[in-house]
Chains A and B, each alone.
Chain A
């Protein structure tokens, strides 16, 4: 997909003006937050489990090489194949090789952000292989020629009327009087169409929520069951996962599963948690004949040992974006690449470069809700700040911002100059504010005043008021 993160500001502008999108985003602000809170309140151990989950991932990352080795050994012992891919292009090539080896014509896909990251669908289509998304949301956006706008609710930006129009456009067998006005009837239609596709497909591709070193299992967590049919019915199952998906043991996976579904959808447990280990065994009446895992690095190993290592704990639950006022306002597409919201604001610059993703960590007021709800306790605001520092170090932000920060820094290091400037400036501004005590325009403050008035300051500076407050306190004490 084309990276539009450098145009974040224009993207955000369009998103704010898009009435359809704004209506759809109401569904994010509503459901997710309450459901999560209810599930969290019902589990007294939730916070202790977050600590446990964080510690498990920290331990895993510190020993990532060893756990990857152990995992590989177990997959191979179970009759599966492990492939290693340094880059997106390597991973795509491996998928294509597997498809060619099995003469695949169609491929069904479970929901997977990693296949979005490596742009697998376009690549397969260009190679003459038809990829079919089977998650309802993914299926809808595939029909629309779009990309997910949310990591667990990919079509959250779409309204049901739009889905009906898309189905009528593509499913041309539909009678005009067939009722497709409600989510129920739309789902029935998708279920019928996709059922046939599962049986036709030669290869099924899924992502993985976890890879378990103890057993060589890949785990997927879904509600629809599409990921299961995708890996159960075709002859070949391909798992595409990035290297940080490893957890040591089944118990470790269990600990993290407890915080995953609650944080994502407010369920205690998703409907289907499926552990897959190797191809079908002797005597098994169903299941794939081949089981492949592609372990993708694509920039992860370069995050290890840096201030962004903690981002590798992310389990892609979506809680950070569900609670983000910026995401609520602009949706996921404005972020301009695969991963939106606060986790995207940290991960995107790491994967595509701060030169392209620099706007994202700046699109935050550091309100801290993302960190407060993150089941893995990832310090997202802190890492966004690290990106801002990197951006500044590399001189990537605009000249006005750099000069502004330079002037600020000069004053901040010289309290006498700061005092002088503010005690002269504030009363003047206070006077200029006039009777309304507000500015609708100020030089160099257009970014603020275009959307709202700036209140005129009180006639005294903050420091003056603070000193007075201290003096009163002292007086009261004595």
Chain B
């Protein structure tokens, strides 16, 4: 018997007492095809503006910095202001994201825009998030050439652009968004849910920022 069959036989033997196979199969198929929503905290169930405000507030609580700008055109200015304020080199790494690419980066002549995945030598990376989650101040990023995952982890500073209209109240709504975008049961290779900058409490339980991922996360909310 293959190890798979042996394990399955064991499981089925142990579960034998619990209901007919047909009924179990139906219950499982039903749950997989129509995932129940469960308990959704009231915290994020707000009108549009209050939801975006909650997102900003929660992101700040997990020590991300947050700014809001009116349109995509204004993102390069916000990025360049961040770099200046943090005394960072005037250079960023971005992927192929259409929204990021079409931004007027050249208005800031001295700003170097490097494209493609991070090689580990970038001080600052810029990504466009798929969605934001207001209840926790989390951004959701999907892998791929538009926003390579290395940009989320290797640079010291990670700037995340998120559209206000993509900020949902709760995690389940973002999962719903992912289903819609990639197709039911389909996923990007990686979906990163990021809540603030990297940290560790492993030495004497003292929380320190910048463990292995970015030391700082800066969120730019558009709209």
Q: Do A and B come from one complex?
A: yes
Check B14–A305 contact: CB distance below 8 A. Answer: yes
Given A66-B25, A285-B95, A248 and B35 contact (CB-CB distance below 8 Å): yes
Q: What is the bound-complex CA distance between A228 and B211, given in angstroms?
A: 12
For B138, give the chain A residue with the smallest CB separation: A269
For B32, give the chain A residue with the smallest CB separation: A214
For A306, the chain B residues whose CB sits under 8 A away are 14
Tell me the smallest distance from the CB of A151 to a CB of chain B, in Å.
13
Other-chain contact of B202, A49, A70, A140, A277 (Cβ < 8 Å) = A140
Other-chain contact of B204, A160, A248, A284 (Cβ < 8 Å) = A160
For B12, the chain A residues whose CB sits under 8 A away are 65
For B190, the chain A residues whose CB sits under 8 A away are 232, 274-277, 287
For B41, give the chain A residue with the smallest CB separation: A45
Q: What is the bound-complex CA distance between A48 and B148, given in angstroms?
A: 37
For B143, the chain A residues whose CB sits under 8 A away are 280, 284, 286-287
Check B31–A248 contact: CB distance below 8 A. Answer: yes
Q: What is the bound-complex CA distance between A281 and B148, given in angstroms?
A: 12
Check A136–B200 contact: CB distance below 8 A. Answer: yes
For the A-B complex, the count of residue pairs with Cβ-Cβ distances under 8 Å equals 277
Check B171–A284 contact: CB distance below 8 A. Answer: no
Given A251-B37, A275-B187, A224 and B6 contact (CB-CB distance below 8 Å): no
For A362, the chain B residues whose CB sits under 8 A away are none
Q: Which of A141-165 contact B (CB under 8 A)?
A: 153-156, 158-160, 163
Given A250-B35, A301-B14, A304-B11, A268 and B212 contact (CB-CB distance below 8 Å): no
Q: What is the bound-complex CA distance between A63 and B193, given in angstroms?
A: 28
For A199, give the chain B residue with the smallest CB separation: B120
Other-chain contact of B194, A74, A90, A213, A271 (Cβ < 8 Å) = A271
For B191, the chain A residues whose CB sits under 8 A away are 217, 274-275, 277
For B212, the chain A residues whose CB sits under 8 A away are 134, 191, 194-195, 224-226, 228-229
Given A163-B203, A301-B14, A272 and B208 contact (CB-CB distance below 8 Å): no
Interface assignment of B117: CB less than 8 Å from any CB of chain A: yes
Check A302–B171 contact: CB distance below 8 A. Answer: no
Among A78-86, A413-421, A454-462, the stretch in contact with B: A78-86
Q: What is the bound-complex CA distance between A68 and B38, given in angstroms?
A: 22
Check A251–B36 contact: CB distance below 8 A. Answer: yes
Interface assignment of A6: CB less than 8 Å from any CB of chain B: no
| Interface class of chain B by DSSP | loop
Given A249-B32, A258-B41, A68 and B198 contact (CB-CB distance below 8 Å): no
For B8, give the chain A residue with the smallest CB separation: A65
Q: What is the bound-complex CA distance between A268 and B138, given in angstroms?
A: 10
For B7, the chain A residues whose CB sits under 8 A away are 84, 86, 243, 295, 297, 301
Tell me the smallest distance from the CB of A171 to a CB of chain B, in Å.
15
For A274, the chain B residues whose CB sits under 8 A away are 190-193
Interface size on B, residues (CB 8 A): 83
Tell me the smallest distance from the CB of B161 to a CB of chain A, in Å.
19
User: Which of B18, B186, B195 has the most chain A CB within a 10 Å cutoff?
Assistant: B195
Q: What is the bound-complex CA distance between A44 and B179, given in angstroms?
A: 28
Other-chain contact of A272, B27, B95, B192 (Cβ < 8 Å) = B192
Other-chain contact of B153, A56, A63, A225 (Cβ < 8 Å) = A225
Interface assignment of A440: CB less than 8 Å from any CB of chain B: no
Check A63–B24 contact: CB distance below 8 A. Answer: yes
For A79, give the chain B residue with the smallest CB separation: B189
For B40, the chain A residues whose CB sits under 8 A away are 45
Check B18–A156 contact: CB distance below 8 A. Answer: no
Check B200–A62 contact: CB distance below 8 A. Answer: no
Given A64-B15, A66-B24, A215-B185, A257 and B171 contact (CB-CB distance below 8 Å): yes
Q: What is the bound-complex CA distance between A385 and B42, given in angstroms?
A: 39
Q: What is the bound-complex CA distance between A194 and B185, given in angstroms?
A: 35
Interface assignment of A471: CB less than 8 Å from any CB of chain B: no
For A431, the chain B residues whose CB sits under 8 A away are none
Check A271–B192 contact: CB distance below 8 A. Answer: no
For A302, the chain B residues whose CB sits under 8 A away are 10, 14
Some 15 contacts from A to B, beta carbons below 8 A apart, are: A27-B204, A59-B27, A155-B202, A183-B208, A195-B212, A229-B153, A249-B32, A255-B38, A276-B190, A279-B189, A281-B144, A284-B148, A286-B117, A287-B143, A304-B11
* Given A250-B35, A271-B213, A284-B145, 11 further pairs, Cβ under 8 A: A70-B32, A90-B3, A153-B201, A225-B153, A228-B213, A251-B175, A254-B38, A267-B195, A271-B197, A281-B144, A283-B145
9 tightest Cβ-Cβ pairs between the two chains A and B: A225-B213, A224-B211, A305-B14, A137-B202, A249-B35, A304-B14, A301-B10, A183-B203, A277-B187
